[in-house]
Amino acid sequence: MQRELRSAEDLAACVEEMGFLPFFRNEIEGFSVEEMTPPELWWGGEVWGPWEWKGPVIRLARCAYGKFYRGKAVYISEKFFPDFANLRRDGYDYDARMDEGLARGRDVPVMRELLREPSLVSKTLKARTCVSDEAKRAFDSTMTFLQMGGYVIIEDFVYPLDRHGKPYGWGLAKYTTPEAFWGEEFTSAVYRRQPAASYEFLFSHLRSLLPHASDAELQTFLLGK
């Protein structure tokens, strides 16, 4: 599985081929962008590397990107994300979760805003949904929780521009829902199986992809805990 990533195109192809790829080094050896990237690109400098490739990779691969594993970033391909979301959502779309009283109160304003107007930069989404100081402090953890639950993904990053029109600094995440990002391709697939069947499907794929990983490590990765 070991390969070297030297461009956004390399990374997009790797995501499409593997289906799942965490950004950071983790318990499963070799299973990360970090471990596949030459040090001179990982640590940055004049040449862009994985930190700047994130938006282009999402666009090239039409993949999901977000905090899906222990609050850390993972790329997931379009092929596997419907089952991943079904598993994490336990078969509930967000309206059903609210109707059943299963939605956390602080998450609801964020989801309502994204369902009303998909594709919002984090700064704008925070300003619209966080009225109290407590909500503002909790915004990052709220967004992590919704990503971990399979309800929110990052569709791009927006960078400030210098006086020459070149992007610089840390990009601001642009959030959306999988339903808005993929449309009918996602909504027709996400609940096609029972959550337990989605787990078995994904586990089988990861077992073939990562023969050196333990069952417990694969289970932790899929369930996020």
Convert the pLDDT of each residue in 197-215 to its tens digit: 999 999 999 999 999 999 9
Instruction: Please give the pLDDT value at position 55.
Output: 95
What is the tens place of the pLDDT at every residue in 129-178? Answer: 998 899 899 999 999 999 999 999 999 999 877 777 676 667 899 999 99
Across the chain, mean pLDDT equals 94
> Does residue 66 contact residue 153 with C-beta atoms inside 8 Å?
yes
| Mean pLDDT to the nearest integer, 86-111 | 95
Q: Taking residues 11-39, what's their average pLDDT? A: 97
Range of the domain at 188: 8-223
In a domain, 167, yes or no: yes
193 vs 168 pLDDT, higher one = 193
Residue 32's nearest CA partner among 222, 216, 210, 223 is: 210
Query: Does 2 fall in a domain?
Result: no
pLDDT tens by residue, 29-62:
999 999 999 998 998 666 789 999 999 999 999 9
Residue with tokens 């700047």: 52
Token pair, residue 170, equals 């840390």
What residues form DSSP beta bridges with 173?
Answer: 157
The tokens describing 8, both together, are 């956004």
Q: What's the pLDDT band for 3 if we cut at 50, 70, 90?
A: confident
114 falls within a domain: yes
**37 within a domain of the structure (yes/no):** yes
Is residue 89 domain-resident? yes
Q: Which residues contact 170 (CB under 8 A, 6 or more apart)?
A: 159
Query: Does the residue 3 lie in any domain?
Result: no
Does some domain include residue 217? yes
Whether residue 79 is contained in a domain is answered as yes
Number of domains in the chain: 1
- Residue 47 has a pLDDT of 72
Q: Is the pLDDT of residue 225 over 60?
A: yes
The residue to which tokens 């959502």 are assigned: 89
